[in-house]
Amino acid sequence: MKTLFSRIIDRELPAQVVYEDEHCIAIHDIHPVARVHALLIPKKPIPRLSDAGSAEQELLGYLLVVATTLAEKLGIAETGFRVIINNGKDAGESVPHLHLHILGGEPLGWKHGGSN
């Protein structure tokens, strides 16, 4: 069964895309916890960070580089941004497809944890 994010990647569900390349897609979060809140999603369906192995090492590094590119595009790179990966239910993960939350656009306290 496809995840919500796989359905967005396959254009079966609408989303506000802010970045896309052959490896990943970035969309605006529909339940933002900060003024700027985007989700960076690899197109390869990895359920969660703890399921990633050495075969995903290059992709994981790539996602962190793209996170900075995305922060620049969203206008939050200079003032600061946060990157969050939730891993498992207790961490707030609700979609079993690895993704990075990119938060910024305001001073961030610890309440800006991100979910999904």
Query: What's residue 107's pLDDT?
Result: 93
Global model pTM greater than 0.85: yes
Q: How far apart are CA 31 and CA 100, in angstroms?
A: 14
Q: CATH number of the domain at 4-104, out of 3.30.428.10, 1.10.645.10, 3.30.499.10, 3.30.572.10?
A: 3.30.428.10
97 carries an active-site annotation: no
Whether 114 has a pLDDT exceeding 70, the answer reads no
Residue of 37, 99, 101, 112 marked active site: 99
Q: How far apart are CA 73 and CA 67, in angstroms?
A: 10
For residues 59-69, give the mean pLDDT: 98
- DSSP letters, the chain, are ---HHHHHHTTSS---EEEE-SSEEEEE-SS-SSSEEEEEEESS--S-GGG--GGGHHHHHHHHHHHHHHHHHTT-TTT-EEEE---SGGGT--SSS--EEEEESS---TT-----
Query: What's residue 110's pLDDT?
Result: 77
Residue position matching structure tokens 């939350």: 101
* Tens digit of each residue's pLDDT (9 = 90 or more) over 68-96: 999 999 999 999 999 999 999 999 898 99
Q: How far apart are CA 11 and CA 85, in angstroms?
A: 23
Q: What is the mean pLDDT of the chain?
A: 93
Domain spans in the chain, listed from the N-terminal domain onward: 4-104
Q: Which residues contact 93 (CB under 8 A, 6 or more apart)?
A: 48, 86, 87, 115, 116
For residues 45-58, give the mean pLDDT: 96
Whether 116 has a pLDDT exceeding 80, the answer reads no
Locate 42 and state its tokens: 């690899």
